[in-house]
Amino acid sequence: MAAPKTAKSAPPLLDDDKTVELADMFKMLGDPSRLRIVTATLEGPRAVGEIAAMLGLSVSLVSHHLRLLRATRLVSPERRGKQIFYRVHDQHVAHVIRDMIAHVNEEAE
Amino acid sequence: MAAPKTAKSAPPLLDDDKTVELADMFKMLGDPSRLRIVTATLEGPRAVGEIAAMLGLSVSLVSHHLRLLRATRLVSPERRGKQIFYRVHDQHVAHVIRDMIAHVNEEAE
DNA sequence: ATAACAATTGAACAAGTGTTCAATCGTATG
DNA sequence: CATACGATTGAACACTTGTTCAATTGTTAT
């Protein structure tokens, strides 16, 4: 909790549940390692070890992050032999992230 | 740092600086209080006390968050008399956030 | 100047976070 | 079966983070 004031009057633009849900999604992308992992899976299914090598991170660390990303439904796993391939969970997520990347890459205004 | 492996080979989709910059932006929006504050300023310039009342948060807390949001250039202040009004820093930021909200509100797939 | 109002600031604390290391699980191949 | 490989898991750690409270700065009015 935050304030003793019992104030509440403005119409929302986003209800409380959606706000928390969205914040959780943002939080997941708010860590550089995780953001790199997600953008890596954006280009196609990538195995855990592959991601780790690409990014210069330990397999353990990548796996920990993938567990969180899975829980937030940002990526989804698919087993193929010994390896497990991850990709962005759906097109919805992919679009949002691509959008953000585009905006940061433009940066012209 | 993370892994001792000296691996590095894949072409980026987003260079390191931009990645960190984007992650910082995401991190700011990754807290529910802050996300609500930003969406509040999305509808027009809002005074600090006004925001605090709308959201049921203490003025102090809102101010702390606004300092962070200012530092990340997500909002910008404008003094008008005793009060200080905040609004989303630019259209760029506004668009990205509106986009995200729209996506979460749809949620249909 | 004094008082009142709006907002910022700093210290302090609990709770959460990213990372590492070692151990474990799952799947394929000898 | 055993061995090797890929990935997950859990404990432990230092570090960061969100929040509160009290004190302070800045602004307008009396």
Closest Cα in chain A, distance from residue B65 (Å): 13
Query: Does the distance separating the beta carbons of B40 and A5 come in below 8 Å?
Result: no
Domains and CATH numbers, chain A: 18-106 (1.10.10.10)
* Residue in A closest to B11 by C-alpha: A54
Instruction: Give start and end residues of each alpha helix (H) in B1-109.
Output: 16-29, 32-42, 48-55, 59-71, 91-106
- The 3-state DSSP class for residue B86 equals strand
Query: Does the distance separating the beta carbons of B7 and A105 come in below 8 Å?
Result: no
pLDDT in tens, chain B (109 residues): 444 444 444 456 788 889 999 999 999 999 999 999 999 999 999 999 999 999 999 999 999 999 999 999 999 999 999 999 999 998 888 988 888 888 788 765 4
| SS3 of chain A | CCCCCCCCCCCCCCCHHHHHHHHHHHHHHCCHHHHHHHHHHHCCCEEHHHHHHHHCCCHHHHHHHHHHHHHCCCEEEEEECCEEEEEECCHHHHHHHHHHHHHHHHCCC
Looking at residue B31, the DSSP 8-state letter turns out to be S
Tally A–B CB contacts below 8 A: 144
Closest Cα in chain A, distance from residue B81 (Å): 24
Query: Does the distance separating the beta carbons of A24 and B26 come in below 8 Å?
Result: no
Strand D reaches within 7 A of the A58 CB: no
Q: Tell me the pLDDT tens digit for each residue of A38-78.
A: 999 999 999 999 999 999 999 999 999 999 999 999 999 99
Q: Tell me the pLDDT tens digit for each residue of A23-38.
A: 999 999 999 999 999 9
